[in-house]
Amino acid sequence: MANLKELRVRIASVKNTRKITAAMSRIAAARLSRAQNAILSARPYGAGLRTMVADLLASVPARERADVDPRLRRTAPKTVWVVAMNADRGLCGGFNANVHKAAAKVLDELTEQGIDVRLVCIGRKAQAYFTHFGRPILRFFHAPDPANVEDLAPTVARFLMHAFCESPEGDEPRPDEIRLVSNHFASVLNQEVRTRTLLPVEVEDEPSRETPPLRAEPSIPALLRHLLPVFVENEVREAMLDSMAGEVAARRMAMDAATDNATELIADLTLEYNRERQAAITKELMEIIGGAEALAG
């Protein structure tokens, strides 16, 4: 009977867990639509901005770009900042772990090359992971969410641009390069970890115009000086929106899987409980029959 009691307690516990995971899945599903719409709406603006910057940069010789704006300064990297972005919470499958692995790989590769590497964490999970493994963290920011992303993106972007263009706070050396490691929302079922260079500004898109030559008022350098801070801020914001959508999608998939696993486990435990109960009943019947036969003599 002790085994039956243990099985009843375990079945009740798994049922309670299933209620929690099912509720979390429904909450994630409700949030997913908003997060997905936010990133899909932001991408056309980002694509247009990248195309415009690519057109303008194509009109400036590479050797003269550093004189136009310090965000275009390109030197042999001696100090590199790595920005690892993930979530403040867990229960979202491999969403956080994938960023940890990718960021750790970048840190190790740069260290092997003799480069001074500094780490900036966005998200408590990144902070906890790298603190656990003894990685010093230069600066920490909370993970983005719908309530703070519009304030957090400019704050992070200004902090990184100030460090790159002028000097970091304290005695830290000025970074020659800043890389961002974060999740890219490809679809509800797929989030890809990407490593991109935030600073110096790099635009992979080909210029959209070849002829006639691009003209701008008051001048191309003046327009670049105005657009580059907007460009970097938008890159950070878009990465945050990607991360938010990817986190919600990963949490929904993880909670759906947990709910399905709980349902299967309840079925297995119920079957085991019924077998144990039937065995106990059979044993009691056999004892009664044996006692009756002994009394009958």
Q: Do residues 242 and 39 make contact, with C-beta atoms less than 8 angstroms apart?
A: yes
Closest CA to 189 of 130, 253, 256: 253
CB atoms under 10 Å from CB of 101, counted, come to 14
Residue of 198, 158, 160 whose CA lies nearest to 179: 198
177-187/137-141 β-pairing: unpaired
CA atoms within 13 A on the CB side of 16: 6
Instruction: Please list the alpha-helical segments (H only) found in 59-74.
Output: 65-68
Of 159, 145, 227, 234, give the one whose Cα is nearest residue 196: 234
* Separation CA 165–CA 100 (nearest Å): 28
Secondary structure (3-state) at 90: coil
Q: Give the C-alpha separation, 79 to 61, whole Å.
A: 25
Task: Say which amino acid occupies 164.
Answer: F
How far is residue 106's CA from residue 99's CA, in Å, rounded to a whole number?
Answer: 11
Is 165 in the active site?
Answer: no
Q: Given 24, 52, 72, 92, which residue is catalytic?
A: 92
Rounded CA-CA distance 207/51 in Å is 7
Residues designated catalytic: 92
